[in-house]
Amino acid sequence: MSASRGEPRGWQWFKDPRLDCLSFWGIFPSNTTPPLVEADTETDEHNYLLWRIVNDVAEGSAEIPKGEAIPLEYNLVAQNAISFDKGCYVGQELVACMHHRGVIRKRLLPLKFSKDNGEDNQNSCKSFKFFIWSGYPNPCLYVLQKESRMLLLAPK
């Protein structure tokens, strides 16, 4: 039973619709232990951020810029955020064309540098075009242009 149906304890669980591995979100009073959660499965924001980065999941307007982001660049198709079978939305023609052609010039990628200092990482990669810095120095989410991705993946 949930809070919206009159549950007196005031808790509610939601399945995250993006990816199966994202599991469930719980909303519950801060002074209680959430139901069906063992103490060893609780985590903090830092661990959740690292987990999101490793799994290519950007969140919020700090990581997905409003009015500028193209859903395919931020892996939103893989996260079940776009349906090509229904509805109308702003930019639908562009997104559908990019999807069916398979040409995406920028892509969100998790990167981990050998140095843990974020400033050094940015300075050592001036030839790459980075669009996002996730706020945590290493690993991070970046949106890279296609040319930069090729440089990163090229054998040395």
> Nearest 5°: phi and psi at 108?
-75, 130
> Quick one: tokens of 107?
């892509």
CB 140 within 8 A of CB 118: yes
Residue 42 lies in a domain: no
Host domain of residue 127:
62-156
Tens-place pLDDT, residues 5-27? 435 566 777 888 877 777 777 77
Residue 122 lies in a domain: yes
Shared-domain flag, residues 22 and 76 = no
Q: What is the pTM of this model?
A: 0.60
Which is nearest to 145 in space by CA: 125, 126, 130, 124?
130
Shared-domain flag, residues 81 and 6 = no
The domain tally of the chain equals: 2
Tens-place pLDDT, residues 57-105? 888 887 888 888 888 888 888 888 887 777 677 777 888 888 878 878 7
Tens-place pLDDT, residues 22-68? 777 777 777 776 666 665 566 677 777 777 877 888 888 878 888 88
